[in-house]
Structure formats: structure tokens, C-alpha cells
Homo-oligomer: A and B are copies of this chain.
Amino acid sequence: MNKNRLEAFSDGVLAIIITIMILEIKAPEESSFESLKPLIPALLSYVLSFAYIGIYWNNHHHMFQVVKKINGSILWSNMFLLFWLSLIPFGTSWIGEHHFAAVPMSIYGFILFMAAISYTILQNKIIKLEGPDSILQKAVEKDIKGKISATCYILAIPLAFVSPWISGLLYITVALLWIIPDARIEKQINKI
């Protein structure tokens, strides 16, 4: 089974997710600089979510480069990942409109956590099919970044009720951690 269409479909969904979020940022009623001020939370949440979708696209791209074959179970794991990512625009507009209030920040973390879990499931399904000697297996052997991210999300969900800013900092930290492109896979590829 061919991986090209899975990549193309995922690219399509990610491209739409990354783009439609801007539809939620309505042009201000007035034409002054001050009228931009109330949009700042929406803009910040857009930047954060744009970065996250960018990260997922990037990692998805890296991961599928080493994939040779796919099967039905990989197709559905990928769909499950796309489902959770598709909820990001909802989370984004909620945290933006409510200035990063506790409950929306917590739910946003939950969506990110579920996306991370789905990504790990997808990764494991691929490794299972490719075999223990696959490049991907070696590349993500310890998956430290993945574990740190999941831990940050788990912490951020309840900590939003202590202070939403802690959660916000955790989300930004994870994003920065990943914006450094996944050198692990690149390294393994270069070894060959």
C-alpha cells in the first residue's frame, strides 16, 4: 500500500487547520491601533497553535520519510491524530476569546495531550510494521522529547487552575523544544 496519498491527505487537513484559524480573528470594528489591542490574545493563541500545527506537519513529514509501507491500522491511527489536531482551532479560539482563562487553557492542554498520544500510537504502529531494525525505531529509541512533552501537558492540565500562565509557559516550552527540527531522524538518515 502506497504512502503518498496518506501524506497528501494529511497535508491537506493540516494545511486547512493551520489556515482556517485566521477566520476566527475578525477584523476590528474600528480602524485605530487601539482596536487591535483586544485582538492580542487571539493573535497570541493563533501564533501558538500555528507553531503546533507546523511542528506536527514537520514531524509527520520526517517520520513518513523513513516509512516504506503502510497498512490499514496506520491509516486509522493517522486519522485519529488528525481528529485531535482538528480540535485545535476550537481550543485556540476559546483560549483567545477568554484571555487564557483556566478552563479553556486546561482543555487546550487536553487536546494537545490527546494529539501527542495519537502521534505516539501512530509512531508505534509504524515501528511495528517496519520492524525493530527500522530507521524510525533507532531514531526515536528513547523519545525523550516525546516524553517531556507528554509530561508537560499532563502537568499543564491541572496547573491551569493554579495559574493559567503556568500552562501557557509549559505549552510555549514544548513548542520551542520541537521547533528545533527532529534532528534524530535526520541523523539516522545521514548515517546510511
Contacts and interface: CB of A to CB of B under 8 A. Distances in A.
Interface of A: 1-2, 5-9, 11-20, 22-23, 25-28, 30-33, 35-36, 47, 50, 54, 57-58, 61, 65, 71-73, 75-76, 79, 82-83, 86-87, 89-90, 93-94, 97-98, 101-104, 107, 179-183, 186, 189
Contacts of A98: 27, 30-31
A72 B18 CA distance: 19
A96 to B, nearest CB: 8
B31 A86 contact: no
Q: Which 10 interchain pairs have the tightest Cβ spacing?
A: A72-B181, A12-B15, A31-B101, A27-B94, A31-B98, A16-B19, A27-B93, A54-B79, A13-B15, A9-B11
Contacts of A35: 103
Contact of A50 (B17, B86, B94, B180): B86
A46 to B, nearest CB: 9
